Amino acid sequence: MSKKDSSADLSPQEDYTAKLQKLKEGLDKANNLRIQAETRLEELSKQEKELIQQIKSYGVEPDELDNYIERLQEEIESLISEIEQTIPWDLIKSSAPLSEREE
């Protein structure tokens, strides 16, 4: 028996009651989802404010964070390069046992 046939067995009042119940359940579920979303939004907003305060405590404006990170990366790369240049790699290779030397 199809769905259409089973609803034909119900009186119009019973059919409307069932539909209204289904609609009420749908509205209740949608309302619960809305409440969950609002709660999550509040949590994320609070977390965002905390992160902004933490960033500011480091002396960086949040709008400048990308530039600040880029400058730090450049500084790190520069320091690594400087350190690599000060290490006497040739002496280290020549003083290493033959088994450790690169060919």
DSSP secondary structure letters along the chain: --HHHHHHTS-HHHHHHHHHHHHHHHHHHHHHHHHHHHHHHHHHHHHHHHHHHHHHHTT--GGGHHHHHHHHHHHHHHHHHHHHHHS-HHHHHHHS-GGGS--
pLDDT of residue 4: 52
Q: How confident is the model at residue 91 (pLDDT cuts 50, 70, 90)?
A: confident
Structural domain contains residue 3:
no
Task: Give me the mean pLDDT over the 79-100 stretch.
Answer: 84
Give me the number of domains the chain comprises.
Answer: 2
Structural domain contains residue 20:
yes
| In a shared domain, residues 50 and 87 | no
The more confident residue out of 14 and 6 is 14
Mind listing the pLDDT tens digit for each residue in 47-81?
Answer: 999 999 999 999 999 999 999 999 999 999 999 99
pLDDT tops 90 at residue 43: yes
Structural domain contains residue 5:
no
